[in-house]
Amino acid sequence: MPRWAESSAAEQGQLTPDQINSWRQQGFALVHNLVPETLLRESAADAENAYPAPGSDAEANFDNFGSGQNFVFPSRSAACNRITLHPNLLGAVAALLDVEVGEIRLTQSDLWPKYGRPPAAHDLDNADQRIHCDYPNHTLTHPPAWEHPEAVEIIIYLSDFETCGGSTAVVPRQGPDDPAYGWPIINTPGVAGLNYVNDKDHAEAYLREQAPDVAAFREHHLYARECLARYRFGSVLLYRHDTWHRGTPVTHGALRLVHNLTFKKAGSEWINVLHPGWSWSMYRRNQFMEKLIAAASVEQRAVLGFPLPGSPYWNEQTLQAVKARYGAHGIDMTPYENAPPAAGT
């Protein structure tokens, strides 16, 4: 019988102390009522219109891992973009990292489909993932000590587990001496000289051959302890770069939509943005991103890397120039104009 990780409700758009504690201690929290459901439904409808229907010819040729950079921020879906910068979501991330919203940075936002298909039986098949942590393809380094997290990983489910399966399995951390969470985290494919293999059966067969101790550790401490996230439409799984987890197969013939996001603390340049930079769309979607920047709040802009009021970037010249760039879209520069200059400038 599987073990379950159950979803709990956020309160008035904010994480509860228990949810924050769960993320900090166990490595994850599964919550609902964090982002307004009407907005999530809009985003899901946009995605359903954009992606092939399950069972269609187009679906058969569609990669089952990521959107192929086709639904990344800023996406064609206004709702998806609003979710990416939703104040409740940003507030939750800031609370988990114990920083101000202006001190977090977006590094991933992608809405993608996973189709329920028969197993493809090759190393890179994404249906039944090997258990892993997400840090290797987000950072050039290694997550710092558990007590000093730098990033929040997010899965927003735009489907329902009861109809499409495809739950995320997680291994709850049980205190500082938990053998599953020993240091450093290298007992996983793609790290420390081990090949990257995605498919669970292939990965574990490879490890039994190449690194039997690693395979045994994973069997006894990870797979044996995994819990399945019992998500519903709109559930948000908040986890970390050092949380053991994996995607499990979607029900055959079904479509699971998820919106993946990552936020990091400002200053951790070693954690990469996974997409083209946010400015890249400026010449590709006429005045779309300019309008988005002009309409965003000071905090939302900061999350995209725009300098905060008081940043050393701002002086009389830059204030005028940025106003000249975005003034036609109605940007309000007063928060930047009124902020005292940063120390030393």
Q: Between 134 and 204, whose beta carbon lies closer to Fe ion?
A: 134
Q: Report the residue number, 43 or 262, with the smaller CB distance to Fe ion.
A: 262
Chain mean position to CA 25: 19
Euclidean distance between CA atoms 159 and 115, whole angstroms: 12
DSSP secondary-structure letter at 329?
Answer: G
- What the block records as the tokens of 26 is 């166990």
Minimum gap (Å) between residue 318 Cβ and Fe ion: 39
Question: SS3 for 79?
Answer: helix
Q: How far is the CB of 288 from Fe ion (least distance, A)?
A: 30
- x-marked contacts with Fe ion along 142-171 as a string, rule CB under 5 A: ------------------------------
Helix H, strand E, coil C: the string for 206-271 is HHHHHCHHHHHHHHHHHHHHCEEECCCCCCEEEECCCCCEEECCECCCCEEEEEEEEEEECCCCCE
How many CB atoms are located within 10 Å of the residue 37 CB? 12
Stretch that binds Fe ion, among 51-59, 132-140, 156-164, 326-334 (CB under 5 A): 132-140
Q: Which one, 10 or 237, has the nearer CB to Fe ion?
A: 237
Judge whether 73 and 109 are in contact, CB under 8 Å: yes
Residue of closest CB approach to Fe ion: 134
Site membership for Fe ion, residue 226 (CB under 5 A): no
From CA 265, how far away is CA 150, in angstroms rounded? 5
Shortest CB 230 distance to Fe ion, Å: 18
3-class secondary structure, 121: coil
State in angstroms the smallest separation of the CB of 245 from Fe ion: 6
- Residue 106: name the closest of 309, 243, 290, 302 by CA: 302
Element (H, E) at 109: strand 104-115
Helix/strand/coil for 294: helix
Q: Which stretch binds Fe ion (CB under 5 A): 133-141, 172-180, 197-205, 308-316?
A: 133-141
CB of residue 17 vs Fe ion: minimum separation in angstroms?
27
Counting contacts by CB under 5 A, is residue 134 touching Fe ion?
yes
Q: Which residue, 231 or 314, is less far from Fe ion as judged by CB? A: 231
Residues 270-329 touching Fe ion, rule: CB under 5 A, are: none
From the CB of 275, what's the least distance to Fe ion, in Å? 17
Q: At 334, phi and psi to the nearest 5? A: -60, -35
Please state the closest distance from residue 132 (CB atom) to Fe ion, in A. 6
In the bound state with Fe ion, the residue whose beta carbon lies nearer, of 65 and 288, is 65
Minimum separation from the CB atom of position 85 to Fe ion (A): 23
Q: Which stretch binds Fe ion (CB under 5 A): 37-45, 72-80, 134-142, 217-225?
A: 134-142
| # residues contacting Fe ion (CB under 5 A) | 1
110 near Fe ion, rule: CB under 5 A: no
CA 183 to the chain's CA centroid: 23
Q: Of 272 and 297, which has the nearer Cβ to Fe ion?
A: 272
Binding site for Fe ion (CB under 5 A): 134
